[in-house]
Amino acid sequence: MRILYLLFAIFFLLFQAAPGSADPLFADTAECKSRRGFCLVGPCPPTFSITGSCQGNLMKCCTK
């Protein structure tokens, strides 16, 4: 029975995706990140401005 736990751990590690290997789902989110911005649902903080959209126009891209 102990071998099953070991096999489960090995399969779990083998089938994990490598970090950063997946393509972004939305092009506007990738563009926001490339401009050193971040995505928010609500309004941007006071020192930031809205420079675009994220997640297919569901969120706002905030940059300085």
Reported as a pLDDT band with limits 50, 70 and 90, residue 63 is very high
pLDDT in tens, 2-51: 788 888 888 777 777 555 555 567 888 889 999 999 999 989 999 999 99
Q: How many domains does the structure of the chain reveal? A: 1
AA identity, residue 15: F
Dist. CA 50–CA 14, nearest whole Å: 41
The domain containing residue 36 runs over which residues?
A: 2-17+25-63
Dist. CA 60–CA 63, nearest whole Å: 10
Dist. CA 13–CA 22, nearest whole Å: 17
Tell me which residue of 58, 24, 64 sits closest to 41, measured CA to CA: 58
Q: What is the pTM of this model?
A: 0.58
